[in-house]
Amino acid sequence: MERTLELIFVNAAGRNTRFTLDDPKAGLTSTEVETVMNDIIARNIFNSTGGNLVSIGGARIVTREVTELISA
């Protein structure tokens, strides 16, 4: 199963901006994620087409199961 962590921010234009990270560590807590997201906003690390990231829109871990039928 593939797992990704999606960090969703709201930018200055009021639109969502999403960052995805592959293979997040097991046992990741909402407090850890929130702390990192607030740090990203405070340090103005990323910019988006809608301007600076201004708030947290959400975060989630997405699990996806892939079954390959033919592989090259």
- Domain that includes residue 32, residue range: 2-64
Q: CA 61 to CA 6: how far, in whole Å? A: 6
Q: Residue 10 has what pLDDT?
A: 97
Domain presence at residue 70: no
pLDDT tens-digit map of 48-57:
999 999 999 9
pLDDT tens-digit map of 6-42:
999 999 999 999 999 999 999 999 999 999 999 999 9
Domain presence at residue 32: yes
Asked if residue 52 lies in contact with residue 45, where contact means CB atoms within 8 angstroms, the answer is: no
Domain presence at residue 71: no
Q: CA 24 to CA 30: how far, in whole Å? A: 12
Dihedral (Cα; 50, 55, 61, 43), 10-degree rounding: 90
